[in-house]
Structure 1
Amino acid sequence: MNSADLGRRVGVPSTALFTDQYELTMVQAALKAGTASRRSVFEAFTRRLPEGRRYGVVAGTGRVLDAVENFHFDDEMIGFLRQQRIVDEPTLQWLADYRFSGDIWGYPEGEVYFPGSPVLRVEGSFAECVLLETVILSILNHDSAIAAAASRMSAAAGGRRLIEMGARRTHELSAVASARAAYVGGFDATSDLAAGFRYRIPTVGTSAHAFTLLHDTERDAFRAQVDSLGRGTTLLVDTYDVAEAVRAAVEIAGPELGAVRIDSGDLLLVAHRVRQQLDELGATGTKIVVTSDLDEYAIASLAAAPVDAYGVGTQLVTGSGHPTCSMVYKLVARAGSAEPDARLVPVAKKSLGAKASKGGRKWAARRVDEHGVAEAEVVGTGAVPEELAGRELLVELVRGGEVMAREPLEAARERHVAARAGLPLSAMQLSRGEPVIGTEYA
């Protein structure tokens, strides 16, 4: 299937084949064994943060809710599974009627998380919950990685405007998800129109070097752009000679010129020179936008530069070196039988080394100090201690198969600002380090 076909598939209301084959073969075996209907609890979490990261960012929750709601097998899909002999006829009949009817709790989108945090808890029958594993992890691992990188860049930017412009550096569908996650993590706009259309994220964009090269002179290009887009546009000034371009830009657009963009060279030095030149030409209100392979470290290095906005592409959509969060989806409790009132039994993988997990249906709360600053992520299985009551992190997302917690993307974005502000100041450091708070098990 080519990318265009995949794009059309994503447009239809089913996410059921965004999964691994073994999810379906497990359902077949469980149906045959009589264990498929056992009440089960799965949790998505990560055992560790990416190396050097001090906190994670939950992103993609809204997309997970869409994926769960739209997870069903249509006739064409059932026909494909039958033709490929993926599962047997009784299983195909079960899949044809599938709709998730369980409950989902999780950290709200934009919240921060740490190793062991039960970011998402899915409850229902074993069969209906296990089917969701791959699509849930696909979304959370990707979107949370992008949001974490965006958050670090946002912290480094110190309030300056951030523009996501990585669509050409990743898969076309990933680009849309990346723009959404970046917005949650603190970016202000995207260049990707599909993201703007689907999620109403502010979009920006003016011209590339090709537009300047198209014209006989740089002045002709600037004049054409200003005539078309107005004096408030952003002119790209590093195609030839930056100083000459800035002079021409102000002469053509006047001091009302919106901004100039610098895409190459020693950005710190060039930004200072351009700011001085703009001011001398009377364009004191003209802003400076810088691009060119930026990441959080490059952004931090420009803190002293007269820069008003940063455009970030490759490093953002690849998670700034960490394109996944390594989240897993594990069965942590299951009923002792298929009876509706059967007691839940904690279960856990007993692997050697770092892959062991902790059983039991978990809650999580964040303990804070006397100043309201987070000091520990507390995860437990029984009753929530009285001193942590009201500080629980998981919220109800789905009840009986019905989505309960849809919210505007702005809410997740604002939540992240508040969550990050509640962490110790060392969370903002870009140097490698351990998680900014530890995880305690109660």
Structure 2
Amino acid sequence: MLTAFVRDGTVEHPAVFEVFARRLPEGRRFGVVAGLGRLRELLADFRFTAEEVAWLRARDVVDDATARWLAGFRFTGDVDAYPEGELYFPGSPVLTVRGTLGECVMLETLVLSVLNHDSAVAGAAARMVLAAGDRPLVEMGSRRTHEDAAVAAARAAYLAGFASTSNLAAGLRYGVPTVGTAAHAFTLAHATERDAFASQVAVQGKDTTLLVDTYDVAEGIRTAVEVAGPGLGAVRIDSGDLAETASAARALLDELGARETRIIATSDLDEFVITALADAPIDGYGVGTRLVTGSGHPTAGMVYKLVAVGSSPGGPLRPVAKKSHDKVSVGGAKTAWRRAVDGVLAAEWYRVDGREEPDARPVQVPVVRGGAVVHAPTLEEVRATCRAALAGLPPGARTVAAGPAYLTAGLEGEPS
């Protein structure tokens, strides 16, 4: 595509691309925008090295003119987007890229790979956060996904409301709070469970979390309290009927005088299991596999489509749109608007004429101008944005029960 644009001269024509999802994963009521913070960093460093250009040319992927174009590539356009942590719905123009046709085309895979992955994790994480209520969630999925995706997933889960992660790289890179417990291997490596607990407490102190289900949960709890005392921080249960086991564990801990010792549950949790455990005496959850793998976060399904293009460098833009069956798009650069009623999100729509909506708020914010980042909220600010967005949903849209998308973004003046 790029080589053709370079040869026919359209590479420098103005263009507008938009990211949106035609639909949400089945049964989901909303999506969560995530990855924008990572994307802006990647965009600033998006270059082609001499080695990369040489490789492309040697394999005849590009011609000489295109190789020269790539060697000097810098994104110099503009990006507007829904703030990270904000909700999105079918049709929401989540991100808009303006620039030359060539530079905008080059961003497609980068933009979609980041936004689709992180938004999928954040959407799943938000549902788990809503299901957990005031019980904290720990992201523990690093061993179930790609090593780089694990760090991104930890960040996405945290911005959606998880309390912490077991991934230390996410702590180093993004400042996500980190926590962890010992694995079963730690217990098995010692001659006795008592030896293992004593070793852990000696290093971490009595406020640590002891894994008590390697052999027998009741015996593990008794040993844990004998070693750490009634001030033991927490016990972790990773198997069996979690509701039944947690109830028995709470009763035994109370009997042993460890009334303040918390119970942490892990083991293939998701929003449905967490909802089912709402009445169990569990103080926190560790979630891994079903948060970071496709079974837990079905694809966000975002696409990157050309919506306007010029016929000459610096010339006026004309709207363009797909008309193919089931994949229709709406031409023209869009401005998205939302209206709330009594603090509850009630409608979202977009316009293609640029007109202001006096009784609504614009959703997109400027992110990049002339290739330079102009919007860089902290991760804590993003987390607050998500928290407020979720709070603005009506109760029916905050449950984990399957249902249609709460809203669908409609064309100008036709709020859903």
Task: Please give the TM-score of this superposition, normalised by the length of structure 2.
Answer: 0.97
Structure 2 residue runs of 5 or longer lacking an equivalent are none
Provide the C-alpha distance between the structure 2 equivalents of 1:324 and 1:139, rounded to a whole number of angstroms. Answer: 12
Offset at residue 225 of structure 1 (A): 0.8
Question: What amino acid is the match of 1:337?
Answer: S
**Where does residue 394 of structure 2 map in the other structure?**
424
Q: Which runs of 5+ in 1 are unaligned?
A: 1-25
Aligned residues: 412
Task: Select the residue among 402, 411, 416 that pairs with 1:441.
Answer: 411
Encode CA deviations 1:349-388: one digit per residue, 9 max, x unaligned.
1112x1110000001111222x121111111111344334
Which stretch of the first structure deviates more once superposed, 319-328 or 61-70? 319-328
The CA distance in 2 between the partners of 1:252 and 1:98, in whole Å, is: 62
Provide the C-alpha distance between the structure 2 equivalents of 1:58 and 1:319, rounded to a whole number of angstroms.
Answer: 17
What is the letter of the counterpart of residue 216 of structure 2? Answer: D
Query: Are 1:379 and 2:350 an aligned pair?
Result: yes
Deviates more, 1:55-64 or 1:311-320: 311-320
Q: Are 1:273 and 2:244 an aligned pair?
A: no
Does the aligned pair in 2 maintain the 1:152–1:296 contact within 8 Å? yes
Q: Does 2:300 align with 1:325? A: yes
Instruction: Specify the alignment match of 1:18 in structure 2.
Output: none
Counterpart amino acid of residue 37 in structure 1: E
Residue 58 of structure 2 is aligned to residue 87 of structure 1: no
The residue number in structure 2 matching 1:237 is: 212
Q: Aligned letter for 1:417?
A: R
- AA partner of residue 60 (structure 1): G
Per-residue CA deviation, residues 216-249 of structure 1 (Å, 9 max, x unaligned), is 1111111111111110110000011111111111
- Cα distance between partner residues in 2 of 1:385 and 1:406: 25
> Shift of residue 427 of structure 1?
1.3
Residue 329 of structure 2: aligned partner: 357
8 Å CA contact 2:25, 2:300 repeated in 1: yes
Structure 1, residues 331-364: CA drift from partner, whole Å, max 9, x if none?
00111322x2x22111001112x11100000011
After superposition, the C-alpha distances for 1:282-304 in whole angstroms (9 at most, x for unaligned) are 11111110000001000111111
Aligned-partner Cα distance in 2 for 1:49–1:304? 30
Give CA deviations for 1:393-412 in whole Å, capped at 9, x if unaligned.
00000000001111211111
Q: After superposition, what is the alpha-carbon deviation per residue over 1:261-281, rounded to whole angstroms, capped at 9, x for unaligned?
A: 000011001111111111111
- 1:321: how far off? 3.7
Q: Which amino acid aligns with 1:201?
A: V
Contact 1:111 1:419 in 2 (8 A): yes
Give the aligned partner of residue 319 of structure 2.
346
The residue type equivalent to 1:348 in the other structure is A
Question: Do the aligned partners of 1:345 and 1:360 also contact (CA within 8 Å) in 2?
Answer: yes
Partners in 2 of 1:432 and 1:85 — Cα distance? 49
Matching of residue 397 in structure 1 with residue 367 in structure 2: yes
* 2:28 is the counterpart of 1:53: yes
SS in structure 2 opposite 1:410? Answer: helix
> Structure 1 vs Structure 2: percent identity of aligned residues?
58
Matches within 5 A, 1:24-423: 26-338=1-313, 340=314, 342-352=315-325, 354-369=326-341, 371-389=342-360, 391-423=361-393
Distance 2:410 2:50 in 1: 48
Report the CA distance between 1:320 and its aligned residue: 4.5
Question: Which ranges of 4 or more aligned residues in structure 1 deviate by more than 2 Å?
Answer: 319-323, 383-389, 437-440
For residues 357 and 331 of structure 2, the distance between their equivalents in structure 1, rounded to whole angstroms, comes to 23
Higher relative contact order (CA 8 A, sep 6+): 2
Q: Is the CA contact (8 Å cut-off) linking 2:291 and 2:297 kept in structure 1?
A: no
Measure the CA separation in 2 of the matches of 1:261 and 1:321.
Answer: 22
The SS at the match of 1:431 is: coil
d(CA) in 2 for partners of 1:421, 1:112: 11
Task: State the distance in 1 between where 2:343 and 2:131 align.
Answer: 23
Give, in whole Å, the separation in 2 of the partners of 1:384 and 1:150.
Answer: 36
Which amino acid in the other structure matches residue 207 of structure 1?
A: A
Secondary structure of residue in 2 paired with 1:216: coil
CA distance in 1, matches of 2:246, 2:318: 62
Secondary structure, in 3 states, of the residue corresponding to 2:358? helix
Higher mean displacement: 74-83 or 149-158: 74-83
Q: Deviations over 1:73-109 (max 9, x none)?
A: 1111112112221100111111101100000000010
**Contact 1:28-1:87 at 8 Å conserved across structures:** yes
1:386 and 1:435 map into 2 onto residues whose CA distance is 24
Secondary structure of 1:177's counterpart equals helix
TM norm structure 1: 0.91
Q: 1:6 maps to what in 2?
A: none
Looking at structure 2, the residues matched to 172 and 126 of structure 1 have their Cα atoms a distance apart, in angstroms, of 33
- Determine the C-alpha separation between the residues in 2 that align with 1:194 and 1:414: 22
CA distance in 1, matches of 2:144, 2:15: 40
1:319 shift after superposition: 4.9
